[in-house]
Amino acid sequence: MTETFELNDFYDLTLAADFALSPDGDRLAFVASEFDRGEDERRTSLFVVSTDGSDDPYRLSRASDAGSPKWSPDGSKLGFLAARDEDVALSVRDDSDDEDEDAEDDENGAAETGDDEPKSQVWTFDLDRGGDARQVTDREEGVREFDWGPDGDRIVVSARDPTEDQREYLAERRDGGPIEIERLQHRFDGKGFLDDVTTYLFVVDVETREERRLDDAYGGGTYEPMAGLQPAWGPERIAFVSNRTERPDDSSAMDVFTVDPDGGDLRQVTDTDLTAGAPRWSPDGSRLAFVGSDATNWHVPTQVYVAEDDEYESVTASLDRTVSHASRLRWLDEGTVLAPIADEGSVRLARCFADGSDPEFTFESLGDYRTIRTFDFAGETAAVLLTEPATVGDLYAVDAEELAAGEPTRLTDLNGAFEETHAMPGCRRVVYGNDSGDEIEGIAYYPSDFDPDDPDPRPLVVSIHGGPVSYDAPEFKFEYAYWADRGYVVLRPNYRGSSSYGREFSEAIRGKWGPREVEDVLAGVDHLVERGWVDADRTFATGFSYGGITTGYLVTSTNRFAAAAAEHGIYDLRSAYGTDDAHKWWENDFGLPWENPEAYDAASSITDVGDVETPLLVTAGSEDWRCPPSQSEQLYVSVKKQGVPSKLVVYPDEHHNVGDPDRAVHRLEQLTEWFETHDPGRV
C-alpha cells in the first residue's frame, strides 16, 4: 500500500552527492546528505562501498559537513574537506616551544582571528590503520580545494592568505567595522562583499603538516569566487586556473596555468579566449584535458579541450553539444578522455580522442529516462550517480569493457523504503512545435494513476528551469513527485535558450530575452491541453532564477495562468546592474546599460507590469546577490499597487537558493498553497 506524499517526507530522503573511486577502482567513497529535522540542518557524511556490489556502504564519518573526497595514489588514505572542531593532536601540542610555534602560526596564517567557527580544512582517513580522521591543514581562512601529489606524501591546497594589514581589516569587519572596497567585482553570491585577499596554492607535507606557498600560483578575476583555482597535481606539474589579465575583475576569462611543485617555471596554457576549468592530466602527464567555455558568449557550447606541446584544441566541437553540469573529465588511457555531454535533455558519457577524431557516445544502457548527475573513472571501473523520475538517486558501477552497452551494478539503495511506500510519478518526454516552426522538448511528470494514452485532464504546473543556458532532464525532484501525487501534471520545458540542443538553439535569445521563452512555454501548455492531459482553466507557472525571470515575462504578456510564482528572479535589468554579482554576464549579453538602454528595457518585465492580472507569489533570498531581493520587491509592490492578489516571501540569510530543509519545505508549501488558493477547479 502506497502512502500519500507529505511535505515532511522531504526529511526522509538521503541524497548522494560527490564521490570518488579508489585508484584501483575497487572502492567508491561518496558523500550523502541526510536531514536533521530537529535541528533543521542538512548533514553530510562520508561512506565507502565496494564496486562489485558485494556489500552495503559503511559510514566513515558523522561530521556535519564532509565533502570533496579524494583517494591517495596508493589507495591507503582518503582525504576530504570538513569544517570540524580542531584535531586534538593539534590542540595538545607540546607547549615548550610556545614562542617558536606562535611565530610559525603567524607566518603560516594560522593565528587567532576571533572567529570561533571552524574553517574548512583537509582531513585524512588512514584506511589501512583505521581510527578517526587526522587534520592535515590549519589555515586561518580555511582551505577551499585540494589534490594529492603523485607519491601521496604531499597535497596541494588553495587557500586565502591575507597580509598583516588585510588580517587586521578582516578582524575589524568581523567586529562590525565598515566595508571598504576598490574592486570592480565587489560582491558575489554566497560570499557577500569581497575583499582584496589573494588565494594561493600551497604544497603541504601530509605527515609533518609543513607547507610552502607557491608565490606564482594565485587566483583572481570575476569568476574566482565561483570557480576557485581547481588545482590538479599530475605526474610532474600542478595545473590550476586563474585570470591574469590587466583588469581581472573586468574579464570573464579563466586561463589554465601549470607550475612546478616547488613553485617555479610557471607556464600559461591557454590564450585568454576561454573560461577554462576542470583540468585533468593524462596518466603520463604529457597531455592536459580541460573544459572551456567562450569567454564572451555563454551560449556557445562548453567543450572539452586537450593541450599538448604548447597547443590546445577542442575535441568535442563536432558534437555541437555542451559538457554537462558535472564538468568532470577522466582519462580512460593516454589518448582518450571520458566526458559527460548534455545532449537533448540527457547526459551521455562520450569518449573524446586527443588526436581529434570524432567523439563516440557510450553507455547506451542508460536509456531515455535515467540521468547521470556525475561520474568517475579509475582502474578499470566507471561509477555513476543515476536518477530517474521514480528513483531518488543511487550509485552504480560498470566495468570499462562493458561501458558501451553493459548494465551497471547497483551499489546503493539509499531511498528504497521511501520509493516502495510512495506513489512515484510517471514521466514522458513531449515534443511540440511553437509558432515559429521550432521543435521544443519538455519533460512531463504525471500522477501514478494517470494514463497518458487515455487521459483525464488534470491541473498543470509549468516549472521553468534557470540559466537560461541550462536544461532539464528526467530526474527525481521532491517537488515534482509531490505535485504529481496531488494530482498535477508538471511540465518542464527546454525553451529556446536552453543548452544541450546546440548553439543555434541556445543563442536564439542572446540579448533578446523574453518573447521566445514565452512562446515556447505557452506552446507546451497548448500541446498538453490538446492531448487531453491538462485542464485549460487550471494552469499554473513557476520558475526559479531565470525561471523566475521567465515567469515575469509570462504574467506581463498573458493571462493564461490561474496563478503564478516568480522565484528569486530579476525583473528590471538596468537596476540590477551593479547591485548583483553578474556585471560581466550583462555586458556579454546586452552591452553596458548606459550604452544600450533600449535592450535592457526591452528585456525587463517591469516595464509592462501594468498589464499583470495574474495572482502572483514572489519569493527572494535576503542575501541573494545573483538576483537581489530588491528586484522581487519591485515586482511585488508594482503588482500589489494595482490590487492584483499578490504575496511576497523573503528568506532571511539565504543566498541564491533555499538551503535549510525547513525553508525548502516552506517554499514548496507556499507554492502549493498559492496554486490551490487560486485554482478555479477547487472553488
Statement to judge: residues 385 and 467 lie in one domain: no
Could you report the per-residue pLDDT of 583-595, keeping only the tens digit for each?
A: 999 999 999 999 9
pLDDT band at 115 (very low <50, low <70, confident <90, very high): low
Dihedral angle over CA of 624, 626, 630, 634, nearest 10? -130
Cis peptide before 468 (omega within 30 of 0): yes
The domain boundary residue, chosen from 360, 391, 422 = 422
Q: How far apart are CA 552 and CA 632, in angstroms?
A: 10
The domain boundary residue, chosen from 391, 422, 453 = 422
Which amino acid is present at 113?
T
Does residue 301 surpass a pLDDT of 50? yes
What is the DSSP pairing of strand 458-464 with strand 489-494?
A: parallel
Q: How far is CA 126 from CA 80, 92, 129, 155, in A?
A: 12, 21, 6, 15
Does residue 108 surpass a pLDDT of 50? no
- Residue 326: inside a domain: no
Statement to judge: residues 464 and 571 lie in one domain: yes
Q: How far apart are CA 459 and CA 538, in angstroms?
A: 5
Statement to judge: residues 428 and 418 lie in one domain: no
Could you report the per-residue pLDDT of 39-93, keeping only the tens digit for each?
A: 778 888 999 999 999 999 999 987 567 899 999 999 999 999 999 888 877 865 5
Give backbone dihedrals phi and psi of 599, rounded to 5 degrees, phi first.
Answer: -65, -40
pLDDT band at 543 (very low <50, low <70, confident <90, very high): very high
Could you report the per-residue pLDDT of 178-219, keeping only the tens digit for each?
A: 999 999 999 999 999 999 999 999 999 999 999 999 999 999
Which range marks the domain in which residue 578 is found? 424-677
Per-residue pLDDT, 300: 97
- Residue 660: inside a domain: yes
Per-residue pLDDT, 122: 97
Mean pLDDT to the nearest integer, 579-607: 96
Does residue 668 surpass a pLDDT of 50? yes
- Residue 345: inside a domain: no
> pTM for this structure?
0.94
Per-residue pLDDT, 675: 98
Q: Is 517 helix (H, G, I), strand (E, B) or coil?
A: helix
Nearest to 427 by CA among 472, 395, 385: 472
Statement to judge: residues 546 and 406 lie in one domain: no
The domain boundary residue, chosen from 381, 396, 422 = 422
pLDDT band at 102 (very low <50, low <70, confident <90, very high): very low
Which amino acid is present at 349?
L
Q: How many CB atoms lie within 10 A of CB 670?
A: 16
Statement to judge: residues 448 and 548 lie in one domain: yes
- Residue 158: inside a domain: no
- Residue 236: inside a domain: no
Statement to judge: residues 595 and 499 lie in one domain: yes
Q: Is 156 helix (H, G, I), strand (E, B) or coil?
A: strand
Mean pLDDT to the nearest integer, 459-477: 97
- Residue 507: inside a domain: yes
- Residue 475: inside a domain: yes
Helices and strands per DSSP (H, E), number in the chain: 14, 39
Statement to judge: residues 540 and 653 lie in one domain: yes
Q: How many CB atoms lie within 10 A of CB 117?
A: 6
Task: Specify the number of domains making up the chain.
Answer: 2
Q: What are the strands of the beta sheet with 534-544, ordered from one edge? A: 426-433, 439-446, 489-494, 458-464, 534-544, 563-567, 616-621, 646-651
Q: How far apart are CA 677 and CA 656, in angstroms?
A: 27
116 vs 613, more confident: 613
Statement to judge: residues 417 and 485 lie in one domain: no
Does residue 497 surpass a pLDDT of 50? yes
C-alpha cell of residue 661: 530543509
Per-residue pLDDT, 66: 87
- DSSP one-letter code for 614: S
CATH number of the domain within which 483 lies:
3.40.50.1820
Statement to judge: residues 400 and 485 lie in one domain: no
Statement to judge: residues 383 and 514 lie in one domain: no
- Least confident interval from 33-42, 335-344, 455-464, 468-477: 33-42
pLDDT band at 35 (very low <50, low <70, confident <90, very high): confident
Q: How far apart are CA 479 and CA 483, in angstroms?
A: 6
Statement to judge: residues 418 and 519 lie in one domain: no
- Residue 170: inside a domain: no
Statement to judge: residues 643 and 564 lie in one domain: yes
Q: How many CB atoms lie within 10 A of CB 264?
A: 10
